[in-house]
Every structure is written in structure tokens, then in C-alpha cells.
Structure 1
Amino acid sequence: MSVTEGVLPPITTPMDESGDVDHEALRAHINRLEAAGVHGIIPCGSTGERATLTREEHERVIETTVDAASTPVLAGTGASSTQEAIELSTHAADVGADGVLVIYPYYSWPANDHVVRHYEAIADAVDVPLVIYNIPKRTARNLEPDATVRLADHPNIAGIKESAGDINQMYELLQRTRDKEFDVLSGYDSQALSTITLGGTGITSVAANVFPETVCELYDAARTGDLERGRELHEEILELESAMNLQTIPIAVKAALDIVGVHGPHVRPPLYEADPETREELESFLADRNPA
């Protein structure tokens, strides 16, 4: 399995009460997800609170993930600075990550022509596959299909995690890169079924942190053409995604993982733990379900 195929959860970064990264809990979380059937692990993404990790913490989380995981590791290594993204990506490759996931530079706000050069520079500098991460709601820029298609011709750019939330854009990307060695992954659980049935290769699923078996079953149904089962699971996953978004990701995700006994609910400021109302709603939601 490659870094662009299957169910690849962008995992939470467990923290203890003092706010330090809990590496033992991180290992246990990874082992649990792999036992449930996920096909890869994404550390240091948005769900992993990458933006508030120090450089040292970021690197150690990737090192722990590589050491703990038996499936491919797609390490989040994006940054506002091209040079920093190259350094983070080089480190990830050096410690054994199988690929790097690089977000559209936030805050710098480069135009699409400039961000093409940004991605090409990183892809030229590392010897593991690079996957683009397009999520306009966090970066205030959309990587337009024309730019993505240009990047798809780079031999070391393997695909895109498409989180624009626009199914028409998703389909355009699938259509225009069909004859290229370039994969398209769904960035949202709600678009997973349609992405896979239309030709996508992977699901980067937040909900899989809590319900890995359900998301893996959806992936299998979509890949094998069992659309009746796929539709049933799609409706269930819509409910899961809604629950995980009760508060800013990963607040509700970590609260849910705490409720089911995986790891603590602690997040890093400026995010704070789920409020009592959210936690009560999650407890009610999870009571009738049995996460793996």
C-alpha cells in the first residue's frame, strides 16, 4: 500500500495534563488504528495540532510515528516558508517517513503561480513522494485545478489531499489527472464515498480516529462497487463527521477519544477542551455505538 491509497487518518497528537506530548499514548493510538485496518498514518496534520507544536515536538512526533507504525507514514511537513517546509520534509524522509503531506502555505498567501514553484522546490529537495494538501478554509487560498494539473507532471509529486469541499472541483481533478501518475484523496469524510467511486484512491479521515473500522468498511465497499452498503455507511459517516465537528477540530475528536478510553482530551491553547455541553452530546452520541 502506498501513501496515497486506502484509509489514512490524520491522527490526533495525545497530550498530558501539563500540555506535553504523550508519546506512549501516541504509540498506543497508532497501534489501535492499525489493528482496526487503516492503511496508513498521517502525523502532524491539522488534526494533530501541527500549528502549535514546536519544531522539536513536530520532529519527535514524526519520529515516534515512524517507529510505531507498520503501515506507510505520510508526515505533515507544511509551513509558511518554503525553506522550513524543505527542512521539515527532509527530516521526515531522513527518519523513515514514506511520504510528506504539504499544506498550501498559510499566512504568506502566495498566488497559484508562486505556490507551484513552492511545491516544485520541495519536491526537488526530498526523495520521498510529496502529497499536496489543499484546504482553503485554513489557508484562505484555493489551489485551482490548472495549478494542480501542472504539479501532477512533477515526478515526485504523487497526489493531492483535496479539502476544498467542492465536489465539482474534486471531479475535475480526477478527470484531468486520470492519465497521469497522480492520485486524488478525499479530505473530508462526507466526500469519501463519491471520491472513491469516481476514481480517487484514498480517504484522509478525521472520523477514523474514533471509528476506524467503519471508515475502512466504507472504503472497501466503494472500491468493490458495493454501493448499497456504501450508501448505508455514508449516511453513518455523515453523522460521525458532524459529531467530530461539534467544536473546532480536534477538540471534539479528542473528547470522543477520551470518552471511549483511547487517550486524554487535552488540547493546546489557543484551543481548549470541549465544553460540558459538547461532551454531554458526544457521550450520548457514542453510547449507542461501539468504536474500535
Structure 2
Amino acid sequence: MFKGSMVALVTPFTGNRVDERKLRELVDFHIREGTQALVPVGTTGESATLDHREHERVLEVVIEHAARRIQVLAGTGSNSTDEAIRLTRAASAMGADGALIITPYYNRPTQEGLVRHYEALAKSVDIPMVIYNVPVRTGVNILPETIERLVSIELFVGVKEASGSLSQIIELFDRVGDRMAIYSGDDLLTHPILSIGGKGVISVSANIVPRLMSEMVDEALAGNWDKAFQKHLALVPLHRVLGLETNPIPIKTAMGLAGMIAPDMRLPLVPMSEGPRQKLEDVLKNMGLLGKGLS
């Protein structure tokens, strides 16, 4: 259902306020540049510091402005099952094409708790869902055998895998096969994940180089592995510098240097420190991205 290069969309701020005008400009930018789906209000979208009203408003703006020109996979997960259900129902009512559901964070449920969390969602909503596994953020790793227990539920159409473990991802492919799409949640691992059957990526780097990310993924999905690998190599320096500090600090800094958005973010996130920022600026300069704007 979802395929290709999907962007983990930043939430632009002016000062401490959501910049709705710039958010609409980003939607148009990604449509022009070939992104296959928008994924607002995830980790990169600073969901952790948006209040409930802002969270729903960002989804509303993105969905309304997308106007079916591009798919929207709305970030609606929570560490509260009831809250995840409420947000997912709201996104469905707004017209989202699907929902990205992160594993509950901080309270660190057992594997049985994860199964019951996702089963409760499936009984309560009517929208396709992608399970999001990112243990470094949540403190819990949803194991391949646990996802296998959920594969028969038709609403679960995919998994965004950001465990960083290729061996775990290979086991996941072995257990679920083609019954559930698997997407890279780590830009650096996108090419290898595609090479073993992945259907796409939910990308941070695509915020600033959407066309190049889309072209790389499209070449891989078409079986043009040499072309895909060359594009992957061109992207590696950017992927690396965007991981020098906590996401989304580097990508927002990069987009600010590129003249795409104001580099504003909310506490406890702070501006990028000088050493990593200089490395980031050097990579952007080498790629011709400084000051490019939303052209």
C-alpha cells in the first residue's frame, strides 16, 4: 500500500510556534520532488514536544493541503494505548491514508503487552497501520516473532524497522515474507534493506534531498542495483552527518543552512554544537545544498 521514498517530515517552527505556511510549502515541495508519501508528526516532526491540539493541527494542515496529491501516513502512536487509539481515529477522520504507530515508549511493555497494544488498536480503528520499531528511542524492541503474531491482522500493512540490526531485519523477512511490507527506518541501511526485499524507506534525509532519495529507492525497486548503489554512495556523507546529534537537530540545522525553513526547535532540543555543525555545513557545501531553498 505504501512504497518508495517517504519523508519523515519535520515540523517547521517560527520561534516556538508551528509555521503552518511553511508546512504547506513543504508539502508542495515534496510533491514536486517525487516523494511518495508524507509522514508527519513522527520523531523527526517533534511529536514529543507538540501538545495534543498542535499534533492534530499539524496532521490536519498536511492532510488538507496534500489533497490526495500524495499519500499521508500520519504519526499517531503513544505510550498510552487509549491515546494512540484516539489520535489514530482522529487521523482517519481527517482523511489520512494510514497511520504510523510507534511501540509504546518509556513504560517498556513486554512482548505480550506489545501484542495486546496493537490488537487493541486494530479492534478500535479502520485505517491501515505501519508498526514502528525504534528501540533506541522507546526502550523496547518489538521482536520478529512478535510481529509474526500480528501479521494476520489485515490493518497492519507494514513495519518501519529502525532497530539497526540487519540480522533482526533478515529474520523479520523470513517470518513475515510478503504478508507485511518492511521499510527502512535508518537512511544508511536503506540500500541493504531494499536489496533483501524492503519496499521503501521513511527517511530523514529526504527532507533536504527528496529527489535523490526517491531516485535511489526507485532504481532499487526496479532492480537497477548498480544505479541505486551509486546514488546510495552519493547520499552516505549526508546520512552520516545527519546522525551526529539527536534527530531532528541536524536535519533542521541543515534545512536552515539550505534556506528551506527556520532552524527553530523546541526545548529540550538545542542548536547544533559548533564542531558537528561545521562538518554538516561542509557536506552540504560539497553537495551544492547551501542556500538552495525550496526550489
For residue 265 of structure 1, what is the aligned residue in structure 2?
A: 263
Q: What amino acid is aligned across from residue 145 of structure 2 in structure 1?
A: D
For residue 189 of structure 2, what is the aligned residue in structure 1?
A: 191
Q: What amino acid is aligned across from residue 110 of structure 1 in structure 2?
A: P
For residue 54 of structure 2, what is the aligned residue in structure 1?
A: 57
- Secondary structure class of the residue paired with 1:281: helix
The match for 2:17 among 16, 20, 24 is 20
For residue 79 of structure 2, what is the aligned residue in structure 1?
A: 80
**Structure 1: gaps of 5 or more residues:** none
For residue 145 of structure 2, what is the aligned residue in structure 1?
A: 146
Give the number of the structure whose residues are more often strand, by fraction.
2
The match for 1:254 among 249, 252, 272 is 252
Identity %, equivalent residues: 38
Question: Which deviates the most, 267-276 or 230-239?
Answer: 230-239
Question: Which deviates the most, 235-244 or 95-104?
Answer: 235-244
For residue 205 of structure 2, what is the aligned residue in structure 1?
A: 207
Partner Cα separation in structure 2 for residue 34 and residue 165 of structure 1: 29
Q: Is the 8 A contact 1:124 1:156 kept in 2?
A: no
1:218-246 CA-to-partner distances (Å, cap 9, x unmatched) read 10121122211222222222211111112
- Secondary structure class of the residue paired with 1:177: helix
Q: Is the 8 A contact 2:188 2:240 kept in 1?
A: no
- Secondary structure class of the residue paired with 1:57: helix
Counterpart check, 1:124 vs 2:123: yes
Q: Is the 8 A contact 2:145 2:175 kept in 1?
A: no
Partner Cα separation in structure 2 for residue 12 and residue 144 of structure 1: 28
For residue 169 of structure 1, what is the aligned residue in structure 2?
A: 168
For residue 10 of structure 1, what is the aligned residue in structure 2?
A: 8
Q: What amino acid is aligned across from residue 70 of structure 2 in structure 1?
A: T
**Structure 2: gaps of 5 or more residues:** 290-294
Give the deviation of 1:197 after TM superposition: 2.0
Q: Is the 8 A contact 1:218 1:233 kept in 2?
A: yes
Partner Cα separation in structure 1 for residue 192 and residue 237 of structure 2: 16
1:241-285 CA-to-partner distances (Å, cap 9, x unmatched) read 111112211111011111111101001000012233333332221
RMSD, matched Cα = 1.2
Partner Cα separation in structure 2 for residue 198 and residue 13 of structure 1: 32
1:139-161 CA-to-partner distances (Å, cap 9, x unmatched) read 11110111001111111111110
Give the deviation of 1:125 after TM superposition: 1.1
Q: Is the 8 A contact 1:103 1:133 kept in 2?
A: yes
Give the deviation of 1:175 after TM superposition: 2.2
Counterpart check, 1:48 vs 2:48: no
Partner Cα separation in structure 1 for residue 12 and residue 130 of structure 2: 24
With normalisation by structure 1, the TM-score equals 0.95
With normalisation by structure 2, the TM-score equals 0.94
Partner Cα separation in structure 1 for residue 125 and residue 288 of structure 2: 41
Number of paired residues? Answer: 288
Partner Cα separation in structure 2 for residue 144 and residue 135 of structure 1: 11
Q: Is the 8 A contact 1:123 1:129 kept in 2?
A: no
1:78-135 CA-to-partner distances (Å, cap 9, x unmatched) read 1110000000000000011110111110011110111101011112211110110000
Q: What amino acid is aligned across from residue 224 of structure 2 in structure 1?
A: D
